[in-house]
Structure 1
Amino acid sequence: MSVAGQFLAGVLLVSGAATAWAAPALPAPQEFYFDSDAAAAPITVVQGEGEDLVAQLLKHRERGRKGLEATAQLASVAIAQGRAELGDKLYREALAEAPVQSALGRSVRWNYGWDLLRQGQALAALEQWQAAAGSLRSNPGWVPPSYALALWRAGQQQEAVKWYAAAV
C-alpha cells in the first residue's frame, strides 16, 4: 500500500473511531419534566470521610447488609480519591447486581454518571443516565439538565442547547 493509501486508511480509521464516540441516540426533549425520581440522589450508606468511612463501607459489604449500596458509595469514594480504576471496577460490580428497572439500579447508574462526568467522561455519563431514564415511564426533572451538561462538555453544544431549553 502506498503512503497516500496508508494515510487515507488512517484518516478513515480515525474518523470511524470519532463517530463511535458520538453521543448515544437520545430521544427528542419533551416539553415538561416535572416528575421526581427517588433514585436521583447520592447513595449514602455511611456518613464520614477518610479511612474510617472506607472501613465502615467495607464492613457493610462483608456483612451483606446494604452491600450493593455500600459498593456504590465505595466506588464513588475511590473515584473522588483519584482511584478511578478501582471505582470503575466497583461500579461494574454494583451494576451487575442492580437491574436497571429497579430504583436501586437507576440510582447506581445515576451516581455512576455523575462520577464519570467529574472524571471528564461526558459521553459515558450520558450513557449511564440514558439507561437510568430509559427504564422510566415518566419524565424525571433530572434528565434535561444532566443530558445538557454532558452534551455541552462533550462538545455537542447544538444538542445541549435543546436539552437546556427543556430544563428551563
Structure 2
Amino acid sequence: MARNSRQQLITFEELDSATELTPSEQATWQAARDATDQAYAPYSGFHVGAALLLADGTIFKGTNQENAAYPSGLCAERTALFGLAASQPGHAPIVAMAVAARPSHGEFGAAFPCGACRQVMLEYESRQSQPIPLLLPSRNGTILRFSTLATLMPFNFSADDLPPA
C-alpha cells in the first residue's frame, strides 16, 4: 500500500513545425539536423546529431559515434557536450540544445536522449547554473520544447548526493 502517493508532471510545449521556433532556435534545430550527416553509424544505421547554441551565438555540434565493440560508442548529445568542454574551456553559457535523428536513408524521426545522456546533460545545466532549453523531435512529427533539461530527469543523481570531499 502506497503511503504517500505523489505525481510528477512534465511540462513542455508541442510545436507543429519549425516555423514556430524563434530564429535562434531554428538555427540550432537545423544544425542538429545537419549534424546527422556526420554521424558514424555503420552498425545501427541510426544517425543522430546534437547542436548547442552558446550565448555568444556560436553553434557547436556533436554526432553519435559507433564502434564494432558496441559499448565503446558514444551518443551525439555527449559528444557535443564533452567536445565543447574539451575544445573551449570557459565557453559562453549554453542557451539552447537540439537533437535530431534519422535512419541512414530515411526521413527524420523521434530522438529522445538515453538515460546516460540525460544525466550528462543535466550535469552541464547544473555546472552553468542556468537552464538549458531543449528541442526534440517527437514520434508524431511535432517539436517538443522543454524549458530546462531537468524536466527530462526529475529524479537524478547530482553532486548533492555525494559525501562531502
TM norm structure 1 = 0.31
Q: TM-score, normalised by structure 2?
A: 0.31
Return the structure number with greater strand share: 2
Decide which structure has greater helix share. Answer: 1
